[in-house]
Amino acid sequence: MLQDDRSPGFGVYVHWPFCAAKCPYCDFNSHVRHQPPDQARFARAFETELASMRAQSGPRTVTSVFLGGGTPSLMEPRTVGAILDAIAANWTVPSGIEVTLEANPSSVEAERFRGYRAAGVNRVSLGVQALNDRDLKFLGRLHNVEEALKAIELARATFPRLSFDLIYARPGQTLDGWETELRQAIDYAADHLSLYQLTIEEGTPFFALHAAKKFLIPDADTAADLYQLTQEVTAAHGLPAYEISNHAKPGAESRHNLTYWRYGEYVGVGPGAHGRFIAEGTRTVTMAERHPERWLALVEQQGHGVADGEELTRDEEADEFLLMGLRLVEGLDLVRYTELAGRPLPQERIDILQSEGLVAPIGNSRLRATPAGMIVLDAVVADLAR
């Protein structure tokens, strides 16, 4: 693992859009196909789109690669290998950088994991989501706890680095119940946990069920208590938060996710993938066609699947940087904010938020949200960005 120098970095995100089943809470760009997709054809399309992104970004040194989805662990190892080879053919990829692949416990096989490791993956992120079978069923997951624990064990034996996700603030979840589950998760975790509150996203099956009162989630006060408990338990066990929902042993933070939160640059390839990188002096946003087969046809016709995009103004860049940077425990770089916005953050608003215990300075050059500020981060950001 390379030393983190706090640079924003340049990442490559690859989106594999296919899943064995669609989870009822998920609003990501994921699709179920009864017939397996032609992986060789998709691999060629990824290679083509990567070359197109290289033409826009110019020569860069990659600091991280992330294969997300969807369910990337449905890819054959040779598909992963072809994609990673294409990335290395287009940009400089130093030895030892973080290469993450998302995996679902239900699609984990020892032979496939060994294949991913041989292809160059050195970090796996498992979508465990819960450590009791009742809630796994409620969340629409295809695995049970026994399968999840076997997947964790296999991942720890195969890859140098491991993370897994849990969702909390689930219906009927108590503080004591979550603490027990969280302590169990920490026992299994290698060096990183991603812990997300259940949110009801419009357009998902859960949205309609929740609106019809088929289930209830904890109220705002209980959710805040669950969040606070999460921070206390993880910190006490050596996995403190470094971002609002992510926890790691010092030095084991996700380099790729830090690129997003430090407002670095990244290219995105695959159906629905977004990219944000500097092209000809301007931060350019790319947004790919979301439908997998339409994306595939576009790439084969025009060399890329980008369906939309824009060039950001200085104010838009500064607002995005503010939103992302305050998610981090290390805080926001105030000098860089001033460079992006052409003006400093308003000191009078900082003073008010500080007096309310929602933000705190780090020396003279950074500003962070306090634990209380993290709970109401959207309001803090909105106040500073006015």
Whether 2 shows a pLDDT value over 70: the answer reads no
- pLDDT at position 27, please? 87
- pLDDT at position 181, please? 96
Per-residue confidence at 3, pLDDT binned at 50, 70, 90?
Answer: low
210 and 333 share one domain: no
Could you tell me the CATH number of the domain that includes residue 100?
3.20.20.70
Q: Kindly report the average pLDDT of the chain as a whole number.
A: 94
Encoded tokens for 220: 């705002």
- In tens, the pLDDT along 31-66 reads 999 899 999 999 999 999 999 999 999 999 999 999
Classify residue 334: in a domain, yes or no: yes
105 and 17 share one domain: yes
- In tens, the pLDDT along 361-371 reads 999 899 999 99
Per-residue confidence at 109, pLDDT binned at 50, 70, 90?
Answer: confident
- pLDDT at position 113, please? 94
Owning domain of residue 367: 315-385
What is the domain count for the chain? 2
232 and 320 share one domain: no
The closest of 76, 53, 91 to 269, measured between CA atoms, is 53
Encoded tokens for 243: 């971002």
Q: What is the CA radius of gyration of the chain?
A: 21
What sign does the dihedral 253-257-263-266 (CA atoms) show? positive
79 and 226 share one domain: yes
- pLDDT at position 332, please? 95
- In tens, the pLDDT along 265-318 reads 999 999 999 999 999 899 999 999 999 999 999 999 999 999 999 999 999 999
Encoded tokens for 2: 């390379």
* Rounded CA separation 229/175 (Å): 8
Whether 5 shows a pLDDT value over 80: the answer reads no
Whether 168 shows a pLDDT value over 70: the answer reads yes
Classify residue 310: in a domain, yes or no: no
255 and 321 share one domain: no
